[in-house]
Amino acid sequence: MPVFNEAEAVTLYVQTTRSVLEGAGLDFEILFINDGSRDGTLPRLMELANADKRLRIINFSRNFGKELALTAGIDHAIGDVLVPMDVDLQDPPELIPQFLEQWREGYDVVYGVRMQRRHDNFTKRTSAAWFYRIFNCLSRLKIPDNAGDFRLIDRKVADIIRQMPERNRFMKGLFAWVGFNSAGVPYERPQRAAGTTKWSNWRLWNFALDGLFSFSTLPLRVWTYIGAVVAVLSFSYGSFIVVRVLMLGIDIPGYASLLTVVLFLGGLQLLSIGVLGEYLGRLFIEVKGRPLYVIESTYPPTPSSQPASIKTD
């Protein structure tokens, strides 16, 4: 569970999840990744961990983002299966036994499918639907509609994800990329139990761009075809103007049309440079080879938690 300023939610989450897992007779641990919280999340987690040794905490040195917090959780979690989920209880812990039933039937990945999102506003529901549609159109890799990070993954799937070194991480895509036998479990997404969402519309927009540019090169390829079409149209129009002047002697001042064409082509060029910049920026981050995240401490303390440790390739 990645947590960022979730002091209001962690206690209720632990009580609810622990009750479900104990009721199912499971041997489990609950691993929290404190992603640079600035409220009372870490002290509250430490209180809970003192009372229950099945809770572990990985404390980042700063906020690295949810995708890297998920990565750290997969890197450090133990057990036969892993279940990444949100701490706000919008991912119902009651589904975990159903996930396990599917896993015992031979599925290596079991993901939750959000059938209803009544508690999300219209903008979020619409943008989410369009994101899945656009992503699956642009990328050869297909991700299930309305499937988030809430899922069960087998240990062998987790071991493969741990080998992936990229720094611009889109976990939904990585979960889908590994393949294996998968099954979906539909559920109605409930309202957040406590606290407030940390995902603004701007962050969601940038997150969607990361997903698209990480798993598709079509935005680059399409500008080849756009350039070819514009070049053909420009040559055709230029030929028409030359022939018209030579045959009819009509000289066209063309200030308005010339300005329109210049502005149109300039806009296309800037847009294409922007697409190139998105890919180049991600390449720049990858080649620097910096650690994915920095762990300041773990709780309970382990020998590897002092001094601070880092995750590399």
Cis peptide before 301 (omega within 30 of 0): no
Q: Which amino acid is at 202?
A: W
Cross-strand partners of 153 = 82, 109
Contact between 92 and 190 under an 8 Å Cβ cutoff? The reply is yes
pTM: 0.67
State how far the alpha carbon of 226 is from the alpha carbons of 136, 231, 271, in Å: 21, 8, 11
Q: What is the pLDDT of residue 273?
A: 78
The phi and psi torsions of 92 (rounded to 5 degrees) equal -65, 120
For 226, half-sphere exposure in the C-beta direction (CA atoms, 13 angstrom radius) is 13
Burial class (CB in 10 A: 0-12, 13-18, 19+), 11: middle
Q: What is the pLDDT along the chain (313 residues), one digit of tens a residue?
A: 988 888 888 888 888 888 888 888 888 899 999 988 888 888 888 888 888 888 998 898 888 888 888 888 888 888 889 999 888 888 888 888 888 888 888 888 888 888 766 656 666 666 666 676 776 677 677 777 777 788 898 888 888 888 887 777 888 778 888 888 888 888 877 766 565 665 556 666 666 666 666 766 667 777 777 777 777 777 777 677 667 666 766 665 665 566 666 767 777 777 777 777 777 777 777 777 778 888 888 888 765 444 445 555 5
**How far is the C-alpha of 104 from the C-alpha of 138, rounded, in Å?**
34
What's the confidence (pLDDT) of residue 307?
40
- Given a contact cutoff of 8 angstroms between Cβ atoms, the answer to whether 32 and 3 are in contact is yes
Among the listed residues 174, 186, 179, 178, the one whose alpha carbon sits nearest the alpha carbon of residue 145: 186
**Contacts with 84 (C-beta within 8 Å, 6 or more apart), sequence order:** 1, 70, 73, 74, 149, 150, 151, 153, 171
